[in-house]
Amino acid sequence: MKKILLLLSLSFFAQAQKIDKIITRAETERIQTYLASDELAGRKPFTPGIEKAANFIAGEFKKAKLQKTNGTYLQVFPMFKSSLISASGNMDEKSLEAKNIVIISKESSIEVNEKSGYEVVNIQEGANFGQKAYQIMNAKKPTIAFLHESFAKYIPRLSSRGPLRETQANIVFVIANTIPTKYQFTATQQVERLELANVMGILPGKSRPNEYVIFSGHYDHLGIGKAVQGDSIYNGANDDAAGTTAMLMLAKYYAKKHDNERTLIFAAFTAEESGGHGSTYFSKQFNPDQVMAMFNLEMIGTESKWGKNSAYITGYEKSSMGEILKKNLTGSPFTFYPDPYLDQNLFYRSDNATLAELGVPAHTISTSKMDSEPNYHKASDEVKTLDLENMTEIIKAIAKSATSIISGEDTPSRVDTTKLK
């Protein structure tokens, strides 16, 4: 046993010498500092700042000599911004004030009645409105939701929604304590087609090119908001410039090693903060059966609840991926733990979720203390609050832990989609 442990220690020492020359604190700091700089103004979608960030990430992919797709690193997709011109409605022959109707659609005109074939939902008093609204907004078929009047306070928030995906089904929210027998709602809107872009680079596999391992982070944040002590730029250093930095560092590392048997895909997602639009589009471009694993990196710039040399994996129990990563770190000081914040539903809240819903062992790695994160979604989320030394060690640990999956030696078990929420 002592001999085996000695061999493992020597193996890690040799590997560490190589990795230490590629994944360095200085390089981590260089990338992290730019992505969280005031120059990018918080990287909000549809702003010049996020375009600068995308160009920077594409430039890093080019330096690492990653392959493009269709001649570009940008994975462009459409979004639709609608501005309401007019809305009206009646229920059981009684007219309804426009302020009590929200119509979510990318169509310029819409008319809905009891014969339209819409799914009908009744959200009753005392229901978890946030959960119900999320389910409705992500419905795959047109839906009309009648809300108890106690939820009227949420109408302004529903009305101020962001741009919609191309696949967005028509949704109608109406304040009504009961479901009427007859109803009709109409609206006209001005609809503008916009574009967003993920940034993606590819490192083809040597012997298993049609088996994919994905490394990702989201590069958008909240932009400019309410000033706090004179600072109105929400730089999102930890959320998620840290994850994007880690993804880029891993791309550089694996590109220099150039020994991956499976194809590696490196992706920076846009619009995570406004609904996971980037990862949703991305996930539809792949046959999920060909995706062997997804490492989504989110908020790894601070120490975890266990201190240095540790991180947690969301949805740990939903596949064997976590156990594989732990096995590959045997003999190292680093430890992966199961997600300790199950009440936060983190497995379903980040960019891993859309592929996990298709059965892919897709998990998020994080260190964020979600029950007490002092700078989460605040202007104070700055580079100076991060532990860049520890973050660099986390990136190295992820690189080492993924080794057997990248080589094809290990394949994580699939996520059982019948057991997902």
Mean pLDDT across 58-68: 98
Amino acid 15: pLDDT: 58
Amino acid 5: pLDDT: 47
Angle at 313 between CA 162 and CA 391, to 5 degrees: 85
Rounded Cα distance between 245 and 257, Å, is 19
Smallest CA-to-CA distance from 223 within 109, 348, 379, 67 is with 379
Rounded Cα distance between 45 and 390, Å, is 30
Amino acid 130: pLDDT: 86
pLDDT-based confidence at residue 18 (cuts at 50, 70, 90): confident
Rounded Cα distance between 138 and 334, Å, is 38
Counting every residue, how long is the chain? 421
Percent of the residues in the chain that have a pLDDT greater than 90, as a whole number: 90
Rounded Cα distance between 394 and 372, Å, is 21
Residue in the structure block whose two tokens are 């992966």: 336
Amino acid 140: pLDDT: 86
AA identity, residue 234: Y
**What mean pLDDT is reported for the chain?**
94
Mean pLDDT across 237-261: 98
Rounded Cα distance between 245 and 374, Å, is 21
pLDDT-based confidence at residue 232 (cuts at 50, 70, 90): very high
Q: Where are the domains of the chain?
A: 17-67+204-419, 80-193
Rounded Cα distance between 421 and 409, Å, is 31
pLDDT-based confidence at residue 421 (cuts at 50, 70, 90): confident
Q: Alpha-carbon dihedral of residues 282, 251, 349, 339, nearest 10 degrees?
A: 150
Neighbouring C-beta atoms of residue 24, cutoff 10 Å: 15
Smallest CA-to-CA distance from 191 within 101, 77, 103 is with 103
**Tokens at residue 209, please?**
């090119």
pLDDT higher than threshold 50 for residue 225: yes
AA identity, residue 72: T
Environment class of residue 128 by beta-carbon count within 10 Å: exposed (0-12), middle (13-18) or buried (19+)?
Answer: exposed
pLDDT higher than threshold 70 for residue 10: no
- In the DSSP assignment, the letter for residue 144 is E
Angle at 417 between CA 414 and CA 421, to 5 degrees: 135
- Cβ-contact 238, 386 below 8 angstroms: yes
- Cβ-contact 299, 368 below 8 angstroms: yes
**Tokens at residue 345, please?**
């539903």
**Tokens at residue 274, please?**
């406004």
Count Cα atoms within 13 angstroms, Cβ side, for 369.
Answer: 11
* Helical H segments across 64-99, by residue range: none
Count Cα atoms within 13 angstroms, Cβ side, for 133.
Answer: 18
Rounded Cα distance between 19 and 394, Å, is 12
Q: Which CATH architecture has domain 17-67+204-419?
A: 3-Layer(aba) Sandwich (3.40)
Which tens digit of pLDDT belongs to each residue from 365-420? Answer: 999 999 999 999 999 999 999 999 999 999 999 999 999 999 999 999 999 999 99
Which tens digit of pLDDT belongs to each residue from 300-311? Answer: 999 999 999 999
Amino acid 157: pLDDT: 87
- Cβ-contact 104, 137 below 8 angstroms: yes
Amino acid 336: pLDDT: 98
Rounded to 5 degrees, what are φ and ψ at 273?
-65, -25
Omega cis (within 30) before 231: no
Smallest CA-to-CA distance from 47 within 243, 222, 265 is with 222
